[in-house]
Amino acid sequence: MKADLHTHTYLCKHADGIAEDYVRSAVDRGLTMIGCTDHAPMPDNYDEKHRMTLEQFHADYKPAVLELRERFKNVIDVKFGVESDFFPGTEQWVRDFHDANDFDFVIGSVHYLGEWGFDNPVFVHRYDEENIDSVYERYFNHIRRSAESGLFDILGHCDLVKKFGHRPTKNMDEIVRETMKVVKACDIVVEINTSGLRKPVQEMYPSEEILKIIGELHIPLTLGSDAHMPEDVARDFDRARPLIERYGGGVVSVFTKRQRSEVRVS
Ligand code: ZN
Ligand code: FE
Ligand code: FE
Ligand code: ZN
Which tens digits make up the pLDDT trace of 132-156?
999 999 999 999 999 999 999 999 9
The total of structural domains in the chain comes to 1
Three-state secondary structure call for residue 255: strand
Distance 243 CA to ligand 2 centre (A): 21
Q: Which residues does 210 contact at the CB level (< 8 Å), separation at least 6?
A: 158, 159, 176, 180
Q: Is the pLDDT of residue 116 over 90?
A: yes
Distance 52 CA to ligand 1 centre (A): 11
Distance 116 CA to ligand 2 centre (A): 14
pLDDT value for 1? 87
Full domain range(s) for residue 36: 3-264
Summarised one tens digit per residue, pLDDT across range 12-56 is: 999 999 999 999 999 999 999 999 999 999 999 999 999 999 999
Ligand nearest to the CA of 119: 2
Its pTM surpasses 0.75: yes
Distance 70 CA to ligand 4 centre (A): 25
pLDDT value for 64? 98
10 Å CB burial of residue 171 (0-12, 13-18, 19+) is: exposed
Question: Side chain identity at 128, as an amino acid letter?
Answer: D
Distance 266 CA to ligand 2 centre (A): 25
| Domain CATH code at residue 32 | 3.20.20.140
Q: Is the pLDDT of residue 183 over 90?
A: yes
Residues near ion ligand 3 (Cβ under 5 Å): 83, 226
Distance 111 CA to ligand 4 centre (A): 8
